[in-house]
Structure formats: C-alpha cells, structure tokens
Amino acid sequence: MSTPISERKLANAIRVLSFDAVQKANSGHPGAPMGMADIAEVLWRKFLKHNPSNPNWHNRDRFVLSNGHGSMLIYSLLHLTGYDVSIDDLKSFRQLHSKTPGHPELGYTPGVETTTGPLGQGIANAVGFAIAEKTLAAQFNREGHNIIDHHTYAFLGDGCLMEGISHEVASLAGTLGLGKLVFFYDDNGISIDGEVEGWFTDDTEKRFESYGWQVLKVDGHDADAITKATEQAIAETSKPSLIICKTIIGVGSPNKQGKASSHGAPLGDDEIALTRDELAWKHAPFELADEIYEAWDAKAKGEALEKNWEADFEAYKKAYPELAAELLRRLEGELPTDFEQQAKEYIQQCQEQGEDVASRKASFNAINTFQPLLPELMGGSADLAGSNLTLFKDAKGIEKDADGNYIYYGVREFGMTAIANGIAIHGGFIPYVATFLMFMEYARNAVRMGALMKQRVIHVYTHDSIGLGEDGPTHQPVEQLTSLRTTPNLHTWRPCDTTESATAWAEALKAKNNPSALIFSRQNLPHQQRDSEQVANIAKGGYVLAKEKSELQAIIIATGSEVGLAMNAYNTLSEQGVGVRVVSMPCAEVFTAQDSDYRESVLPSNIRARVAVEAAHVDYWFKFVGLDGKVIGMTTYGESAPAGDLFKEFGITEEAVVEAVNSLV
C-alpha cells in the first residue's frame, strides 16, 4: 500500500506551479498563491462541491478569488482538480488569448466564476451569489426537495478589506444573515508598499463581528485547524462566516517569504532553486508526479455529485413539473415565450394613452407591468426607492428570515451594483438597481465590470439633468451620460416619454449579454405622437420622430427631456419654411449598431446642418453633428435654482435651438 501524500506536499504543488508560471511569464504575483496554498488545499479537496467535467453545473458551490492578482492560485487549482486547464495553459500565463490571463476573467477560463480585478468587487460578487442562492432556494425548494443548496466561498486579502466596498457588502451580508457565505481572509500583513501596519491597523475581527458575522481565527498553514474552522463555518447557518487565516506571504521562499518582494514580482531563478530545495521539491518546472494528480483529481467525485443531484431533480420534476420547468427557464436566462408580444402590446398601449408624466413615473409603470410577467426580476435601490420609483406593487423585501424579490440596499451604491453583478452571474434572476444619475459615480467601476462580464444588469438612474433643480450642482449630472455612453458593451437609454420608457425597459430585459443604463427625468415630459413604424423604430436606438415638411435642410437630434424642446423648435422652424426633421435618439449605442442603410435613412450624410440638444455635456454629440454642427447643452456645472430658471440660464431653450439651426442653413 502506498503512503498517503501529505497535505503540505499537495499544497506545495500549488506553490511550485504558481511561482513557475509567474517566472516564465516574467510577470505576476507569486506571494499570495504560495501563502494561501494550504487553505486552498483544504477547501478544494475536502469541502468544495463542484464538477470539473461540467463547470456550469447549477448546484455547484461558488468559489471567488477576490484577491485576483494571485490568479495563479485558482489556475493551479483548476488544473490540478481536472478542469480543462492544461499544463500548457499554465505555461501561457498572462499571454495573449490564453486561458490564464493576469486576473481571473469570466468566460476565459472554465471554473472561473467572476472577473476579479479591482480589489473588493470579488467579495461583493460573492455576496450577490449568496443572495441569489438563498432567494432561489426559498422560491423553488420544497419539503424533501432541496434542489438549490450550495455555498459560496471567497478568498480575500488586506487590499480587499481596505477598499470601502468591503464595508458596504459585508455589512449588508450580515444583516441578511447569509449563512452559506464563507470568507477566508489571507492575513499576511503585506501589500505592495510593504508591511501594512503602517496604514492598516483595523481590528478586522471586531469589525466583522459588529456586522453580525461569525469570526474564526486560525493558523493559515495548519491544515487541521483550517479544516475545523471550515466545518464550524458551514455549521453556522444563520450568519456568514469570516475565517481569519494568519499566513506568511511567499512561504517557502528562503529570502523573500514574509516580504513585499514576493508580492508582485517573480521570485527569480536563483530564489526558485532555493525554494525548491526548501520545499523538498525534486521535479522540474511544470512537472508533477502522477500521484499528485491522482490525489488532486476531483472529476469522479464531482460527476457523482452532479449525478446524484440530477436524480434528485428528476424526482422534483415529477412532483412539481411546472416549478421545475420555470426554474430551468430562469437558470438558462430565457424570457417567457410570450414576453415579447406582451411587451409590444404594452408599448402600443403607452402610445395610445399618451400620458404627460416624468419618465421616472413612466419607468415605474413599466416595472409594474413587466414584473408580474417576470418573477425573476429582482429590484433594489440605494435608499431612494421613493424618488427612483422602483418599489413595484408586489415588492417584498429580502430579509434575514424571509425570501423576497426586492433588496433594500441602503446608501451603498458601489456595493449594490457589484452585488447585482453577482446575482446576474449566479443565474435565476434579472437584477435592477437604482439611484440618482449623479451617484452613479460611486458605482462607476462596478458598472464597468458588469459590462466587461456581459451581464444583464439594469441600472435605473433618475434625476437625470439640471432639470432636478434646487439641489444644485452637486446633484446635477453633467458628464455622467458621456461616461456611460463611452463604456463598451453598455447600452444607455434616455427616453423622452412613456412609449420610449417602456421600450427601453423591454430592450434592457431582452439584452442577455450586456447591461443597460436607463436614464429618467424628475420633471414631467410631454408625450410625443408616433405612427406604428415610429413606435417600432424606437428599439433601433434612434429614429425620425418628426419628418421635414419641405425639402430637408437640417436635422435636430435630441434625447430625453430635450425632445419636447426640439419639437417646439421644429414647429417654429417649419412655420418659418425651414425643412427640418427631429431625430429622437434614446440609445446612441443601439442606433450606431444598426445597418448603414437604416442609419442613412435617419441621418442622411449629405445634410451637414445638424444641431444636437441635451442637458448634459456637449462633447459627446459632435460625433453625430460633426465639427461644423452645433450642440446645445452643458459645458460647466449647474447651479441651485428651479429647473425652468436653469434651462434659461444655460441656454438650453427652444430659441437657442431655432437660432442654431438658422445659423447653419
């Protein structure tokens, strides 16, 4: 009988693969993978429920490496346990088009659950996973049928805890009692600049206890202690757990362990040779003994776990066929088959009713129409539901001991948005989150990450311009629309009335591979008349709202609240005999993606007299009007005054549009 391989030797396999790959790339972070290898060995070999043969098995545990700079840790784990991550993939670490990019990236590597680049957002995504698991289980599990039943584990470091988002999401996780959420904190006391005691002296234990977490402390290199702490964390079902693991960064490196020099640079060939001796590791770079692979291989166990779950799900399907079908639909991210038709009918109804309301109220009406059709729609607002108008009729708050479909996020814009990314990635829900457009700035990086990960998250931003009035320049967005519109893979909709608002919501709900930002006004907006073709063309992002009454000479492009202003200018200009059309462009990104024939039909290239009007920064619109065109908008911050006074003060008026058009024709 062969002698069992020690847990330390199995952990050392992670260490050597990690520092070898970093050395070959001449780039990366070897210290964290080396320091957390013992924790990873315990979690992945003893506790993690996953199937390397099917990384997308619905009931798998989720694992997040929030300190994603230590990415060779997860790549080594995926390789060792049997995922489709080969030794050649490890050798291609940080190279173009490899499965092993510098930070874990969703969609690049089988087994990577989320993109973790900016520190702290990984743990926010993990909180989203845990909320999704808990809520989905409450909605679909039945007595004797725990179809949704998995844990979320996250590794994090000092940097994650220094980022403010960690406070936002850990506080909410404790309040919600997410008992299947377990964090492992790599407490090594080192960051890039050196020993963190010079700038990070928080009492992390007391901090998390105050949030309502179970906090455990262990030696991060003692496998038995890590095992017992993990068992204790799993046993605590009423609150999340933080396991503080005291570790040595770069452990095993004789001259660099415990030092910042092992954090973000290769160890160097000489130090690697010494480290191999220290670890008693006899193999050449990227070579492992068969017995190491055999001890790590998780395929058979994972396939058995999934097979058992499939048998349970078959029993569930027989007992609850409608629930089972609905669960699968939602997990696959598919909308009900009749949704598109019902959405079209509602949009037409909005056009026929022709209400003059604020677009935030039009958004509220759309939510109340679509939510009963889509039980997967999970709402939330950063303490502004009464102003955002996001609390739909049958909203039920998610609480510690109750399921629901609405999250009261509190004043946590950044955490809210990153949590929503996690909810979307988990599956089973379409999350929307809301705040004032100005406070998008707090959430900006999480909005970007959702776009990068191609997640269907809907961002509702109200109070969209100087039109919000007396709150003044601190609350009046100017440059935010440009920031959103220039974000790749994000669709930014700024509708002008109820019909455009309903269309924006419908298109955002249908967009499986990108997030959407829906921008709504505080002030009432006039309804616009359209025929059926114009209503249908709203979904193309831009369309001719008002056709020229004589030979076309000029085009006015407008969005949102300024469409009404543009229409007033159109009437005046038409009376003057100017051949002018109005193009409403609620979503410039979608319009730009249309075929050239359609774009030409809306914005004929031979018409150079173009004026854009929007109560936001002017620079974005020169791409549509050209350098010879004119843009009516903002070039400064706003002021505190009633909305009507502000539009006059900053020259965003019908008279200004008429004058601009006449100056060009």
CA distances to 105, 363, 441 from 460, rounded to whole Å, are 26, 9, 13
Q: 242 with 249: CB under 8 angstroms?
A: no
Angle made by CA atoms 79, 85, 87, in degrees to the nearest 5? 70
Contacts 24+ apart (CB under 8 A), 97-104: 99/75, 100/21, 100/71, 100/72, 100/75, 101/71, 102/27, 102/28, 102/69, 102/71, 103/68, 103/69, 103/71, 104/65, 104/68, 104/71, 104/74
**CA 332/CA 167 separation, integer angstroms:** 32
Residues 74 and 125 in one domain: yes
Residues 482 and 447 in one domain: yes
pLDDT, tens only, 18-55: 999 999 999 999 999 999 999 999 999 999 999 999 99
User: Is 330 within a domain?
Assistant: no
Whole-number pLDDT of residue 402: 74
- Tell which of 520, 554, 588 closes a domain: 520
- Tell which of 277, 303, 329 closes a domain: 303
pLDDT, tens only, 177-189: 999 999 999 999 9
Q: 218 with 245: CB under 8 angstroms?
A: yes
Known binding-site residue numbers for thiamine diphosphate: 69, 117-119, 159, 188, 263, 439
Q: Which residues are catalytic?
A: 413
Residues 454 and 578 in one domain: no
- Range of weakest confidence among 1-10, 94-103, 156-165, 389-398: 1-10
| Dihedral (Cα; 450, 55, 308, 402), 10-degree rounding | -10
Burial class (CB in 10 A: 0-12, 13-18, 19+), 315: middle
Whole-number pLDDT of residue 527: 98
Q: Which residues have C-beta within 8 Å of that of residue 244, sequence separation ≥ 6? A: 185, 187, 204, 205, 215, 216, 217, 218
**CA 164/CA 170 separation, integer angstroms:** 10
pLDDT at residue 146 tops 60: yes
- Tell which of 255, 282, 303 closes a domain: 303
Strand partners, 339: none
Residues 354 and 259 in one domain: no
Helix (H, G, I), strand (E, B) or coil at 549: coil
Q: 68 with 158: CB under 8 angstroms?
A: no
Q: 122 with 149: CB under 8 angstroms?
A: no
What do you get for the CA distance between the two ends of the chain, in Å? Answer: 93
Identify the band that residue 565 occupies on the pLDDT scale cut at 50, 70 and 90. Answer: very high
Residues 152 and 43 in one domain: yes
Average confidence (pLDDT) over 238-252 = 98
198: domain CATH number is 3.40.50.970
Average confidence (pLDDT) over 482-497 = 98
User: Is 87 within a domain?
Assistant: yes
Whole-number pLDDT of residue 403: 84
User: Is 529 within a domain?
Assistant: no
Average confidence (pLDDT) over 335-360 = 98
| Residue whose structure tokens are 């070898």 | 20
| Dihedral (Cα; 352, 353, 358, 363), 10-degree rounding | -70
Residues 16 and 154 in one domain: yes
User: Is 321 within a domain?
Assistant: no
pLDDT, tens only, 607-644: 999 999 999 999 999 999 999 999 999 999 999 999 99
User: Is 314 within a domain?
Assistant: no
DSSP for 70-116, please give it: GTHHHHHHHHHHTSS--HHHHHTTT-TT-SS-SS--TTTSTT--S--
User: Is 534 within a domain?
Assistant: no
Residues 506 and 556 in one domain: no
Give the total number of structural domains in the chain: 3
pLDDT, tens only, 207-230: 999 999 999 999 999 999 999 999
Burial profile 83-94: b = 16 or more Cβ within 10 angstroms, e = fewer = bebeeebbbbbb
**Domain extent for 182:** 7-303
**What are the DSSP E strand ranges found in 231-270?**
241-246
Q: 184 with 155: CB under 8 angstroms?
A: yes
Residue closest to 544 by CA, chosen among 509, 579, 505, 502: 579
Strand partners, 155: 65, 184
pLDDT at residue 2 tops 70: no
Known binding-site residue numbers for Mg(2+): 158, 188, 190
User: Is 331 within a domain?
Assistant: no
Structure tokens at 353: 């009713």
Residues 374 and 483 in one domain: yes
pLDDT at residue 1 tops 90: no
Percent over 90 (pLDDT), the chain: 99
Q: What is the pTM of this model?
A: 0.98
Known binding-site residue numbers for substrate: 29, 263, 360, 387, 463, 471, 475, 522
Identify the band that residue 338 occupies on the pLDDT scale cut at 50, 70 and 90. Answer: very high
Residues 575 and 606 in one domain: yes
**CA 194/CA 258 separation, integer angstroms:** 10
pLDDT at residue 61 tops 60: yes
Residue closest to 101 by CA, chosen among 158, 44, 21: 21
User: Is 86 within a domain?
Assistant: yes
Residues 27 and 133 in one domain: yes
Residues 516 and 567 in one domain: no
| Residue whose structure tokens are 């062969």 | 2
Residues 482 and 343 in one domain: yes
